[in-house]
């Protein structure tokens, strides 16, 4: 919406008018009448008038146009203005002695008509003022109705226009359509918001073109989502193909972005307009993340799902009142002890519905998040969990901390700290006994406010775990600045890393970085002894998963508490790491370290830090291929310079500071490895690399080993996977 009327004024504060007339006497008459109230410009023919209009299009309030002029007539000038989208909005009043031209002029697009000889001055003033005010009001309405970025209708007015369309075309079958951009967040992250805005404009323009052609209307409903309302029977594959031109370009393949569409065909017009598009959105969600199938259609199966969701929403209040929601507990074990030790648990929710039976969280958590019910459920779970902690504390004389999930909507409640402290006071608990879990997506989607809230919670004693941590480069990069007390690795990430052909290198990287920052790591979804042993060897602190126990009711979890003779409060409350990062590697000889690094590293350096002499090995990622490639006498000048010669500008300062000799040695002073990711520019494209530095031997302060690898493919795949997980809330989020 326009914030003031100043846009309609010239620099001196008066509205700007153009008078186009070939007769000097007519121009002078109008000057005399209008000059006190308006800033005036003059033209003697249609061609001059068009030049002035184009030059002053952003500040011109009105054109007073004579129809019969030399060079170019006023009629032709009016045609040209109405055919130009940038000029068509400027109001025109026609002035002519031809009384028969009035109707014709109005058909051509004139806003009003003044006859010659001119009427009284107050009539001219009144007509000009009326035309300008109508135009300015229309602009304000347009600003209110339109999305500022794309120029499309906004959602509110789109619904109004759709209702009007139905009123005037009651017998016409209509389809509701939702179009969404998969992985749009990656576009903003990788290419910046300006590029992302341009993509939205392009997609909006393409959609507007194809939807208009189909006789429908279109709007931008929210960030990267569009809605259209079209007569039934369109070729939606062709429509989506044409709309996809908006994301075509040299960056499209790199970002792995594409459009998906949901269609609710032959809508039920007795439904509210918003409800129709909810159905189209449900259809679009069925093809989320699918490249092979990009169009979803609302059908009987989705209709049943919708009815089921409505049933859950309707039954929510009774479920709270009758305590149908039951808290389950999944234990967490410290695996760095010789025997895994129970240190805490996570509270998860199940719904014992009286007629539907056991309802798992994947069916109702996302639903309650969308409908604003989640906070009430969260508080119910927090209170029920606190009651159990107090009961076990009394019965077993043990501190058994439990972590509870905090939804993103909870984080926006200014009274969150008071609510949590009130529950602790009610059950005589401390902040070390009720731990908080917040998803990684909450940190990244509105990081400033979330970080402020988390910092406040930690300042009053709460410990916060980042849940569902993925492998995105941006997340790794943020770790050092985020307020958190533990990282929980996402269970899907763990599973995929240990499947056939999977790669655990990213897990090792995350654990190394977390250890460097003194942040313990908890792995979710651990199901096998192989996974347990591998995670222990990598230095993971704690695990939870079906290997030890699925989520169980309180009476079954009590068995774990009862079996535990002693809980180390310092471990469970402070979440202090109970190990060194790679204790097994401390006594490895140089050759063994080199082989360990060369597994997946392309280049390995063995450096004498006293003399700066070095040997360069290459391996192509395979230890058996390790070969001496080069050697030199000034590593930090020669080899270092070549490695970072084409560093990405955004990484230049960070890498430059981190790789100075004194800084690097300081990082290695505690015998822990130093890890760093960075980007190299290759053929105009940024390529992710990783560097890992370690002392050759625990008792050798003179030599270090450095491994360099290209991790571009893993990082980009991890970004894509993380985004899919963020978009698809898993059934075990609670």
pLDDT at 192: 79
Contact 479, 473 (CB under 8 A): no
**Which tens digit of pLDDT belongs to each residue from 427-448?**
999 999 999 999 877 776 667 7
Query: Of residues 255 and 84, which shows the higher confidence score?
Result: 84
User: Beta strand 217-222 with 225-231: parallel, antiparallel or unpaired?
Assistant: antiparallel
Q: What 3-state class would DSSP assign to 609?
A: coil
Q: State how far the Cα of 379 lies from the Cα of 712, in Å rounded to an integer.
A: 42
> Binning pLDDT at 50, 70 and 90, where does residue 580 land?
very low
* pLDDT at 459 exceeding the cut of 80: yes
**Which tens digit of pLDDT belongs to each residue from 42-70?**
998 988 989 998 988 888 889 998 888 88
Contact 113, 93 (CB under 8 A): yes
Region 195-207: mean pLDDT is 88
Sequence-ordered list of residues with C-beta below 8 angstroms from that of 351, at least 6 positions apart, any chain = 319, 324, 325, 326, 358, 359, 360, 361, 364
* pLDDT at 698 exceeding the cut of 80: no
Query: Of residues 337 and 130, which shows the higher confidence score?
Result: 130
Could you give the maximum distance between any two Cα atoms of the chain, in Å? 107
> Binning pLDDT at 50, 70 and 90, where does residue 480 land?
low
pLDDT at 143: 64
Q: State how far the Cα of 170 lies from the Cα of 231, in Å rounded to an integer.
A: 11
Sequence-ordered list of residues with C-beta below 8 angstroms from that of 113, at least 6 positions apart, any chain = 93, 94, 95, 102, 105, 106
Q: What is the DSSP string of 380-426?
A: HHHHHHHHHHHHHHHHH-----EEEE--HHHHT-TTHHHHHHHHHHH
Q: State how far the Cα of 491 lies from the Cα of 345, in Å rounded to an integer.
A: 16
pLDDT at 587: 30
pLDDT at 726: 52
**Which tens digit of pLDDT belongs to each residue from 598-648?**
456 778 787 888 888 777 777 655 554 555 566 677 888 776 777 777 888
Sequence-ordered list of residues with C-beta below 8 angstroms from that of 587, at least 6 positions apart, any chain = 697, 698
pLDDT at 589: 36
Compute CA distances 385 → 326, 332, 403, 720, whole Å: 10, 16, 9, 35
154 DSSP 8-state letter: P
Region 701-717: mean pLDDT is 79
Query: Of residues 518 and 140, which shows the higher confidence score?
Result: 518
Which H/E stretch holds residue 613? Answer: none
The dihedrals phi and psi of 424, each to the nearest 5 degrees, come to -60, -40
**Which tens digit of pLDDT belongs to each residue from 266-302?**
999 999 999 999 999 999 988 876 666 789 999 888 8
pLDDT at 628: 58
From the list 488, 512, 669, the residue with the least C-alpha distance to 580 is: 512
**Which tens digit of pLDDT belongs to each residue from 359-387?**
999 999 989 998 889 999 999 999 999 99
When the pLDDT of each residue in the chain is averaged and rounded to a whole number, the result is: 81
Q: What 3-state class would DSSP assign to 674?
A: strand
pLDDT at 581: 28
* pLDDT at 728 exceeding the cut of 60: no
pLDDT at 290: 65
* pLDDT at 476 exceeding the cut of 60: no
pLDDT at 577: 37
| 712 token code pair | 């571009």
* pLDDT at 590 exceeding the cut of 70: no
Domain annotation for the chain: domains and CATH numbers: 16-144 (3.40.50.2300), 155-298 (3.30.70.270), 327-571 (3.20.20.450), 588-719 (3.30.450)
From the list 647, 728, 732, 719, the residue with the least C-alpha distance to 190 is: 719
Strand stretches in 266-389, DSSP E: 295-297, 325-334, 341-353, 357-359
> Binning pLDDT at 50, 70 and 90, where does residue 566 land?
very low
Sequence-ordered list of residues with C-beta below 8 angstroms from that of 335, at least 6 positions apart, any chain = 532, 535, 536, 540, 541, 542, 543
Contact 178, 268 (CB under 8 A): no
> Binning pLDDT at 50, 70 and 90, where does residue 317 land?
very high
pLDDT at 383: 97
> Binning pLDDT at 50, 70 and 90, where does residue 699 land?
low
**Which tens digit of pLDDT belongs to each residue from 161-183?**
899 888 888 889 999 999 998 87
């Amino acid at each position: 919406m326009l914030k003031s009327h100043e846009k309609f004024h010239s620099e001196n504060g008066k509205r700007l008018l153009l008078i186009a007339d070939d007769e000097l006497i007519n121009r002078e008459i109008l000057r005399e009448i209008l000059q006190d109230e308006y800033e005036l410009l003059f033209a003697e023919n249609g061609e001059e008038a068009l030049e002035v209009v184009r030059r002053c299009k952003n500040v011109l309030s009105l054109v007073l146009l004579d129809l019969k002029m030399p060079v170019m007539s006023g009629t032709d000038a009016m045609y040209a203005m109405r055919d130009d989208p940038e000029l068509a909005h400027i109001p025109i009043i026609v002035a002519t002695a031809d009384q028969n031209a009035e109707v014709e002029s109005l058909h051509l697009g004139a806003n009003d008509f003044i006859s010659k000889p001119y009427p009284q001055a107050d009539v001219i003033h009144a007509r000009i003022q009326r035309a300008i005010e109508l135009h300015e009001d229309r602009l304000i309405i347009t600003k209110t109705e339109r999305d500022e970025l794309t120029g499309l209708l906004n959602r509110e007015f789109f619904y109004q226009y759709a209702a009007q369309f139905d009123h005037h075309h009651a017998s016409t079958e209509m389809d509701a359509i939702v179009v969404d951009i998969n992985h749009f967040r990656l576009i903003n992250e990788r290419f910046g918001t300006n590029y992302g805005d341009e993509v939205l404009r392009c997609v909006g323009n393409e959609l507007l073109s194809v939807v208009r052609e189909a006789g429908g209307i279109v709007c931008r409903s929210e960030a990267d989502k569009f809605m259209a309302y079209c007569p039934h029977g369109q070729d939606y594959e062709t429509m989506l193909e044409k709309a996809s031109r908006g994301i075509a370009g040299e960056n499209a393949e790199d970002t792995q972005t594409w459009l998906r569409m949901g269609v609710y065909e032959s809508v039920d017009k007795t439904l509210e307009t918003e409800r129709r598009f909810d159905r189209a959105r449900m259809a679009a969600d069925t093809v989320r993340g699918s490249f092979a199938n990009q169009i979803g259609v609302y059908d009987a199966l989705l209709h049943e799902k919708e009815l089921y969701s409505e049933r859950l929403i309707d039954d929510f209040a009774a479920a709270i009142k009758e305590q149908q929601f039951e808290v389950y507990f999944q234990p967490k074990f410290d695996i760095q002890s010789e025997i895994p030790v129970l240190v805490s648990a996570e509270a998860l929710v199940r719904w014992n519905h009286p007629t539907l039976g056991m309802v798992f969280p994947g069916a109702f958590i996302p639903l309650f998040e969308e409908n604003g019910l989640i906070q009430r459920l969260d508080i119910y779970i927090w209170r029920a969990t606190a009651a159990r902690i107090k009961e076990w504390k009394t019965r077993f004389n043990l501190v058994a901390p439990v972590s509870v999930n905090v939804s993103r909507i909870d984080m926006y409640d200014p009274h969150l700290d008071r609510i949590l402290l009130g529950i602790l006071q009610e059950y005589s608990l401390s902040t070390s006994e009720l731990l908080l879990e917040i998803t990684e997506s909450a940190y990244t989607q509105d990081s400033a406010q979330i970080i402020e809230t988390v910092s406040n919670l930690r300042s009053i004693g709460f410990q916060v775990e980042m849940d569902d941590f993925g492998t995105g480069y941006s997340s790794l990069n943020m770790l050092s600045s985020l307020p958190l007390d533990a990282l929980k690795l996402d269970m899907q990430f763990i599973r995929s890393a240990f499947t056939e052909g999977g790669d655990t290198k990213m897990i090792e990287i995350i654990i190394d970085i977390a250890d460097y920052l003194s942040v313990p790591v908890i792995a979710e979804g651990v199901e096998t002894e192989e996974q347990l042993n591998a995670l222990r060897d990598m230095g993971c602190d704690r695990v939870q998963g079906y290997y030890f126990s699925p989520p169980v009711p309180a009476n079954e979890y009590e068995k774990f508490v009862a079996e535990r003779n002693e809980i180390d409060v310092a471990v469970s409350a402070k979440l202090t790491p109970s190990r060194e990062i790679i204790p097994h590697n401390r006594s490895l000889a140089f050759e063994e370290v080199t082989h360990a690094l060369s597994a997946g590293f392309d280049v390995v350096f063995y450096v004498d830090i006293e003399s700066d002499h070095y040997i360069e090995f290459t391996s192509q990622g395979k230890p058996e291929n390790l070969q001496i490639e080069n050697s030199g006498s000034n590593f930090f000048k020669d080899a270092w310079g070549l490695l970072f010669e084409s560093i990405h500008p955004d990484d230049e300062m960070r890498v430059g500071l981190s790789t100075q000799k004194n800084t690097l040695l300081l990082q290695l002073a505690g015998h822990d490895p130093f890890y760093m990711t960075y980007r190299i520019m290759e053929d105009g494209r940024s390529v992710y690399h990783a560097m890992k530095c370690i002392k050759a031997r625990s008792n050798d302060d003179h030599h270090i080993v450095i491994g360099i690898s290209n991790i571009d493919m893993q990082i980009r795949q991890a970004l894509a996977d993380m985004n899919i997980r963020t978009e698809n809330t898993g059934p075990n989020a609670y």
